[in-house]
Amino acid sequence: MATSAASPSPLALPARVAVVGAGAIGGLIGARLARQADTRLSVWARGATLHSLRREGFRLTDPDGRQWSARPAAVGSPDELGPQDLILLTVKATALADIARDIGPLMAGHTRVLSLLNGVPWWFGPSLPALAACPPRSVDPQGLLLQRWPLERVIGGVVHASAACPSPGEVLHRGGLGLVIGDPRQADPVDPAVGAAAALLARAGLEVTVSAHIQRDLWFKLWGNLTVNPVSALTRATADRILDDPLVRDFCSAAMREAAEAGARIGCPIEQTPEERHAVTRRLGAFRTSMLQDLEAGRPLELDAIVHAVREIAAAVGVATPQVDALHGLTRLLAASRG
């Protein structure tokens, strides 16, 4: 992906920062931000996560086994916080509609929202000329998310880190601290708010890159997750077993080629072959995907953002996707059968 290294913004860094979604990634980033003395880090959480954060804060174990904690302000309602400079959205895509409905008290005229979601986010289609007239409705059926967070409010983000949340407030960091962010409007020069967010996150120890075309970075990551995530839910298999089966691997490759063709037509070309991507994923070993973890925990699956939106985008630009269609149908039926 065409990227340029982040550099500190001449503007003041965001001082009031809220994390919305205190799971694995939200916890990893939030715990690091909470250790910055001049950052007023707050977390909007609910249920067991809220109680755990109030009692013990974040408890993080790094890849070397070192453990440390951080105690952000944890609230159960945005009414308790007021307007923020920067909001980190790290929730599941399935929770976005409820979040958008209630998040108003955190928003002010200057507030920016850093979207760190799996799959296709609400702002993706409207930000691309090829899709502006027909954005995928599966991720924003009524256009409510775009109304709440229009493009000028959004900073797009792609996470390249592996973490798990074994229990509320507990974060197991397995590796990687990469974070790519960018203005979905592809503004030139780069919006100072993007540079300020990048500087804040870099100071917290994240390996931040500012991208001139965040849509390409997002599509590339989605292209790698499109198949292994739902196939793992269907088979209950870890990624290594999926890729070690030649028939399953060939099916994944065929679906990825469909997505790559769609990407080329929307201005997000893929510069790897499926086989090259499989080799990268295989080196990560026997990991359980986020969708498999959601299935086992009885949580909703992010099928709309990871699979259905790809089908919609491909259809909008005239790309047939029989393999992606089959994958969506099978996994949708699995989700329905599991309630």
Question: What CATH number is associated with residue 270?
Answer: 1.10.1040.10
pLDDT at 7: 39
Tokens of 245: 């089966």
Instruction: Please tell me whether residues 197 and 284 are part of one structural domain.
Output: no
Nearest partner of 8 among 196, 272, 280, judged by Cα: 196
- The DSSP H or E segment spanning 3 is strand 3-5
Instruction: Please tell me whether residues 182 and 265 are part of one structural domain.
Output: no
Can you spell out the DSSP letters for 217-265?
A: HHHHHHHHHTTHHHHHHHH---HHHHHHSHHHHHHHHHHHHHHHHHHHH
Nearest partner of 169 among 103, 39, 74, judged by Cα: 74
Domain C-terminal end among 154, 183, 212:
212
List C-alpha distances in Å: 205 to 41, 62, 114.
Answer: 15, 13, 17
Q: 1 in a domain, yes or no?
A: no
Task: Indicate which residues carry an active-site annotation.
Answer: 221
**What is residue 151's DSSP assignment?**
G
Instruction: Please tell me whether residues 255 and 117 are part of one structural domain.
Output: no
- The DSSP H or E segment spanning 161 is strand 154-164
pLDDT at 241: 97
Domain C-terminal end among 196, 212, 228:
212
pLDDT at 11: 53
Instruction: Please tell me whether residues 224 and 184 are part of one structural domain.
Output: no
Instruction: Please tell me whether residues 132 and 148 are part of one structural domain.
Output: yes
**What is residue 116's DSSP assignment?**
-
Instruction: Please tell me whether residues 208 and 224 are part of one structural domain.
Output: no
In tens digits, the chain (339 residues) has pLDDT values of 333 444 333 457 899 999 999 999 999 999 999 999 889 999 999 999 999 999 999 999 999 999 999 999 999 999 999 999 999 999 999 999 999 999 999 999 999 999 999 999 999 999 999 999 999 999 999 899 999 999 999 999 999 999 989 999 999 999 999 999 999 998 777 789 999 999 999 999 999 999 999 999 999 999 999 999 999 999 999 999 999 999 999 999 999 999 999 999 999 999 999 999 999 999 989 988 999 999 998 989 999 999 999 999 999 999 999 999 999 999 999 999 988
C-alpha span between 213 and 192 (Å, rounded): 16
pTM over 0.75: yes
Instruction: Please tell me whether residues 143 and 253 are part of one structural domain.
Output: no
Calculate helix-pair angle for 290-297, 228-235, nearest 10 degrees. 40
Per the CB < 8 A criterion, the answer to whether 115 and 86 are in contact is: no
Q: 281 in a domain, yes or no?
A: yes
pLDDT at 190: 76
Instruction: Please tell me whether residues 234 and 179 are part of one structural domain.
Output: no
Instruction: Please tell me whether residues 179 and 67 are part of one structural domain.
Output: yes
The total number of structural domains that make up the chain: 2
Instruction: Please tell me whether residues 42 and 185 are part of one structural domain.
Output: yes
Per the CB < 8 A criterion, the answer to whether 49 and 81 are in contact is: no
Domain coverage including residue 122: 7-212
DSSP E strands in the chain: the ranges are 3-5, 16-20, 40-44, 58-61, 67-70, 73-75, 86-89, 112-115, 154-164, 170-182, 207-211
CATH code, domain with 134: 3.40.50.720
